[in-house]
């Protein structure tokens, strides 16, 4: 993908919250999709294991 082709990531409102896809994140930051998924899974796991709850 041409890095200049997409100036902003694809973001939509769903139930009043901004949402996007992992593919859009990967494309916007020019990262591999599987790396984005791995990071997402790690963040979710760490948030569940954390002693202080945080909203995801």
Domain assignment present for residue 26? The answer is yes
Domain assignment present for residue 1? The answer is no
Instruction: Give the domain range for residue 29.
Output: 12-49
Domain assignment present for residue 54? The answer is no
Higher model confidence: residue 43 or residue 52?
Answer: 43
Domain assignment present for residue 28? The answer is yes
Name, in order, each residue with C-beta under 8 angstroms of 20's C-beta and a sequence gap of 6 or more.
9, 10, 11, 12
| Domain count of the fold of the chain | 1
Domain assignment present for residue 55? The answer is no
Q: What is the pLDDT of residue 48?
A: 87
Domain assignment present for residue 4? The answer is no
5-51 pLDDT, tens digit per residue, is: 556 778 999 999 999 999 999 999 999 999 999 999 999 999 888 86
What tokens appear for 46 in the block?
A: 């760490």
Characterize 20-52 residue by residue with b for buried, 16 or more Cβ atoms within 10 angstroms of its Cβ, and e for exposed: eeeebbbbbeeeeeeebeeeeeeeeeeeeeeee
Q: How many helices (H) and strands (E) does the chain have?
A: 2, 2
Domain assignment present for residue 25? The answer is yes
Domain assignment present for residue 17? The answer is yes
């Amino acid at each position: 993908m041409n890095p200049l082709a997409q100036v902003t990531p694809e973001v939509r409102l769903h139930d009043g919250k901004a949402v996007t896809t992992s593919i859009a994140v990967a494309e916007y930051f020019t990262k591999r999709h599987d790396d984005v998924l791995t990071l997402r899974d790690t963040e979710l796991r760490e948030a569940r294991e954390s002693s202080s709850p945080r909203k995801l």
